[in-house]
Amino acid sequence: MPKVKVPRKSTTVDMTAMCDVAFLLLTFFMLTSNFVAKEPIVVAVPSSISEIKIPERNILTVLIDQEGKVFFGLDTQQDRKEVLENVGKAYSISFTEKELNEFSKIGMSGVPIEKMSAFLALKPEERDTKEAAIGIPTDSLNNQFEVWIKTARQVNRELRLAIKSDQLTPYKVIKDVMGTLQDNNENRYNLITSLEQVSTK
């Protein structure tokens, strides 16, 4: 008794729908994503109950690590280029177009201006090494950090400042940085923290 044939109804499912979904999601993630910016050092930010989100654009990030090394980051490539050019001018160092382009790809930098050329000549992999992450000098004799801040402000008036610092950074360094900001009439800034749950009685 041959049964009514229902063979050949293969087990392959139609993948089209699934494919559609996959690529839809992919498109979504590609468009919404902003990549985790690479930072030269890892800092553990303190937690706070504040729920204010950082604005999306025009952020100048000042990164301070445990040892008090200061790094400087801008979020648009155009700004980075102009800022480096102008900071170079202030120290009468000129950068080639290639160096400027190279710099515009780096999210955060913490190199004294006189070593910048050598730093930019390094391969991208080599830049992350400990030796390359020197930090921008902030002491009063050679306050390059101040020059960076001033220049950035001149290049882009819309910039908002954010300080991202490690939990264990000594207050002395923070005080110096804040003092420098205050000297330059940068009186409003954000401190980057992570969220903490706190019960208020």
Contacting residues toward another protein, per CB under 8 A? 12, 14-16, 18-19, 22-23, 25-26, 29-30, 32-36, 45-54, 56, 64, 162, 164-172, 174-175, 178, 182-183, 185, 187-196, 198-201
Can you read off the two tokens belonging to residue 27? 């498109």
Considering beta carbons, is residue 64 or 113 the nearer one to another protein?
Answer: 64
Q: How far apart are CA 177 and CA 186, in angstroms?
A: 11
Considering beta carbons, is residue 132 or 162 the nearer one to another protein?
Answer: 162
Q: How far apart are CA 193 and CA 44, in angstroms?
A: 9
Considering beta carbons, is residue 32 or 92 the nearer one to another protein?
Answer: 32
In order of 21, 60, 62, 132, 168, the CA distances from 165 in angstroms are: 41, 13, 8, 19, 8
Considering beta carbons, is residue 47 or 96 the nearer one to another protein?
Answer: 47
What is the full DSSP assignment across 97-123? Answer: HHHHHHHHT-SEE---GGGHHHHHHS-
Task: Give the rounded distance of the alpha carbon of 167 from its chain centre.
Answer: 18
Considering beta carbons, is residue 128 or 196 the nearer one to another protein?
Answer: 196
Can you read off the two tokens belonging to residue 25? 């999601």
- Nearest Cα neighbor of 109 from 80, 138, 147 is 80
